[in-house]
Structure 1
Amino acid sequence: MTDRQTQIDEYVATWNEPDPNRRLAMIEKVWTEDGFYVDRGAEACGHAQISANIDRVHRKFPDRIYGRTSAIFNHRERSRFEWAIIDPTGRPTFGGVAYAKFAADGRLRSIIGFFGPIPDEVR
């Protein structure tokens, strides 16, 4: 079993990988095959859909970095952390909170993302 901080940090790294093949390999390591990601603008189930969703966000917000902006809080098989999409000047474009659920082997089973306020210029 892998520790949760490592899994979450590797999950965050998938959002920053521009190469689709490398990103998919990272996703396969971090997520269960039936892993499920959902936020207010997307639902993705399985490795290929999760990677496609990340690619969609890359196209919408080019040159941004996805980062974890808080400590990780754990409770049983779940964790919570704050995140932000950061522009090239280091300013957060927007952010929110993610809730993760882990499988018995330590891989991610699901992530539910909640957004904070989204500026009009990025809607």
Structure 2
Amino acid sequence: MIDRQQQIDEYVATWNETDPDLRLAMIEKVWTEDGHYVDRGAEARGHAQISANIDRIHRKFPDRIYGRTSEIYHHRDRARFEWAIIDPAGRPTFGGVAYAKFGDDGRLRSIIGFFGQIPDAVR
């Protein structure tokens, strides 16, 4: 069984990788082939679309860091955690909560992101 804490932390790391080839390799490691990401502004299916969505956010919010701002709470094949995108001065640009579902092989099958209150600190 793949460690879910590690999977979420590696997922978070994909949002901070600016090299498209390295990011795609990271995504292939943590996401199932049919992985599905959705939030109020985006929907992406599969490795290439997930990577393209991250690239879109990098262009829209340059020099930002994506960070987990809470513990990871697990229940069966699901998890939830809070997150934020941080500007170069260390201030959250925006944040929210993400709900994850894992596939049978332990990789991420889906992430649903909700925007919400900006957290006080990033882990």
Counterpart AA for 1:107? R
Answer yes or no: is 1:47 the counterpart of 2:12. Answer: no
Counterpart AA for 2:48? A
SS at match of 1:70: coil
Partner residue in 2 for 1:121: none
How many Å separate the matches in 2 of 1:48 and 1:117?
Answer: 30
Shift of 1:116: 1.1
How many Å separate the matches in 1 of 2:75 and 2:2?
Answer: 16
Residue deviations 1:31-84 (CA, integer Å, cap 9, x gap): 000000000000000000000000000000000000000000001100000000
Partner residue in 2 for 1:95: 95
SS at match of 1:71: coil
SS at match of 1:36: strand
How many Å separate the matches in 2 of 1:59 and 1:38?
Answer: 18
Count of aligned residue pairs for this structure pair? 118
Shift of 1:109: 0.1
Q: Identical aligned pairs, as a percentage?
A: 86
For structure 2, the 5+ residue unaligned runs are 119-123
Runs of 4+ displaced beyond 2 Å: none
TM-score (norm 2): 0.94
Partner residue in 1 for 2:4: 4
Counterpart AA for 2:105? D
Map 1:6-21 → 2, pairs under 5 A: 6-21=6-21
Residue deviations 1:79-106 (CA, integer Å, cap 9, x gap): 0000000000110000000000001111
TM-score (norm 1): 0.94
Shift of 1:117: 5.1
Partner residue in 1 for 2:31: 31
